[in-house]
Amino acid sequence: MALLVAGALAGGWGLFEYGRLRGGYDHMAAARERQALLDPIAGLEARNRELSGRIAILERASEVDRHAYAEVDQTLKSLQDELLELREEVAFYRGIVGPADISKGLHIQSFMVRRGAGANTYHYRLIMTQYGKNTRAVRGVTKLSVVGVQDGRQLELDLKALDPRRRPYMKFRFKYFQELTGDLKLPNGFLPLRVKLRTVPQGKGIGAAEKVYNWAEVIS
């Protein structure tokens, strides 16, 4: 199933990118390219609904048949993990497509955080997009910081404080979209509240983009 979903998404994205690179970009072509991405999204959402239904059935079954609880519980956890992964893929591709009436320019499209294997470790995924006709490649840096509370005081930690191997910013260069990923390690006793993102493009004519996310809304 995962291979079929991946194939459908790769095919949809291939149609989208090919249309943009042809140079003869017009409104009808844009509509076709947009639909090529929306089709696999619809398939993913249908699968989400199916999994949600199966999860509800398994939850009821686990309450009724305690003898088979262990087996049912394992299946339930597996389906819940698959459902979470599919929902993240839907959010990712919706971010690339964007609403039809979105304003031109640079956008912070989506940001997600997943718990890592170690204590206080997290993996983030940032999607940046650029919209507009005759779009040119844009480059610059994105700054990330986490605002939280430690020992009763509010702190704002930049990327270098959260990952000493990194600079306090991430470089980007793209024409239509770019995915930036990385890892964060929060200090012991630090309670994260918000994530602040700011893009600073080079050159004139493109404005900066800023966004603030509540930690509870982006963590999974």
119, 212: one domain? yes
Digit-coded pLDDT (tens) for 116-142: 888 899 999 998 888 766 567 889 999
CATH code: domain of residue 177: 2.60.40.10
Q: Six-digit token pair at 3?
A: 């291979």
pLDDT of residue 56: 76
Q: In terms of pTM, does the model score above 0.75?
A: no
Among 45, 76, 97, give the residue marking a domain's end: 97
Backbone phi, then psi, for 167, in 5-degree steps? Answer: -75, 170
46, 66: one domain? yes
Q: Six-digit token pair at 175?
A: 């024409």
pLDDT of residue 88: 66
What does the angle CA 211 – CA 88 – CA 47 come to, to the nearest 5 degrees?
Answer: 145
User: What percent of the chain has pLDDT above 90?
Assistant: 33
Q: Tell me how far CA of residue 120 lies from CA of 33, 124, 156, 164, in angstroms.
A: 41, 13, 16, 15
Please state the domain count of the chain. Answer: 2
149, 175: one domain? yes
Distance CA 128, CA 107 (A): 6
92, 113: one domain? no
Q: What is the DSSP string of 22-44?
A: TS---HHHHHHHHHHHHHHHHHH
35, 79: one domain? yes
52, 72: one domain? yes
Which residues lie below 8 Å from residue 193, measured CB to CB, with a gap of 6+? 147, 148, 149, 214, 215
Q: Six-digit token pair at 29?
A: 């072509």
Digit-coded pLDDT (tens) for 168-204: 889 999 887 888 999 999 999 999 999 999 999 987 7
Place of tokens 């050159």: 203
Place of tokens 């989400």: 48
What does the angle CA 60 – CA 62 – CA 63 come to, to the nearest 5 degrees?
Answer: 65
209, 122: one domain? yes
Q: Which domain holds residue 18?
A: 2-97
19, 84: one domain? yes
Distance CA 176, CA 168 (A): 24
88, 121: one domain? no
- Look up residue 187 and give its DSSP letter: P
57, 78: one domain? yes
